[in-house]
Amino acid sequence: MFTSNPFAALSFPAFVMQVYAALMALAVIAGTLFDVHHKGSARFFALRRHKARTWAQRRLGGAEIASLAIATVAEAAVSGEFCRWPRRLSHLLMMYGFLTYLATSAVMIFAYPTGVFTPTVLPALWTVGASMILVGGLWFFFLLRVDVAHDGASPFHLGRADLFVGSLLASTAFALLWHYAQTWFGDATSTRILFGIYIFFTTLLFVSVPWSKFAHMFYKPAVGFQRRVEEADGSSDLPAPAAVNYIVRS
């Protein structure tokens, strides 16, 4: 089960799916650039860097900057910005599931468009990645969202902030349903309907970048790296940690 290339069994030429995947990649790039321009993020970072250079108390060397970059990547790799383990774990499941799902989709669409000689590990990892997204995403969506966990809102309440997670969950859920129908039933009508719904939510996921939190995946590492640089060169305007006084009782 789920060991065959799902994109190889489509009823239209392989280049159609390849063009679609390329357009979705362009949509993410264009949406991120639009988001950066619309929200003034590029201007903010430029002003922040200029201010940091002015206030810096010492100049960082190349090796130290590289070390800070590695530390930033390491923190992002383990979702170090989250203190509570449930939120961190759900985020890690979604992040690595999404990367696995996205990478295997791209390889199967571009490298094995006809399905011939497709390594069985690719559709297997595709399925595992999609399942990780669903586990981590549903856990976050119904139990860990701030408005649900702390404000008492209904877990079925949807807002603009939920656009990214919601469309991602719908896309991966219908991807698995489509592949399940394709593998077990072979019914052309149900397979086409499920594939159409999968394409709809996948398109929504990638073209809604300016209005969703998709672009935050690119902002967070940049902000984290800038914060580390400012702390290292002494230009940070954040308050220093408060001193803790320990009282020793005899």
Q: If you average pLDDT over residues 153-171, what whole number do you get?
A: 80
d(CA 197, CA 176) in angstroms, rounded, equals 12
Report which secondary-structure segment, H or E, holds 44: helix 41-55
pLDDT at 43 exceeding the cut of 80: no
pLDDT at 248 exceeding the cut of 50: no
Q: Look up the pTM and report it.
A: 0.80
Map tokens 């930033």 to a residue: 72
Break the chain down into helix, strand, coil percent, rounded to 5: 75, 0, 25
User: In sequence order, what are the residues at sequence separation of 6 or more whose Cβ sits closer than 8 angstroms to the Cβ of residue 50?
Assistant: none
pLDDT of residue 249: 38
Q: If you average pLDDT over residues 28-57, what whole number do you get?
A: 77
Sketch the domain layout of the chain as residue ranges.
6-233
- Was domain 6-233 assigned CATH 1.20.5? no
pLDDT of residue 135: 96
Q: If you average pLDDT over residues 96-109, what whole number do you get?
A: 96
pLDDT of residue 183: 84
pLDDT at 186 exceeding the cut of 70: no
> In terms of pLDDT, which residue wins out, 162 or 155?
162
Q: What does the pLDDT look like over 199-209, one tens digit per residue?
A: 999 999 999 98
Q: If you average pLDDT over residues 133-154, what whole number do you get?
A: 77
The answer to whether residues 162 and 213 touch, using CB atoms and an 8 Å cutoff, is no
Q: Which of 170, 149, 148, 169 is nearest to 157 (CA)?
A: 148
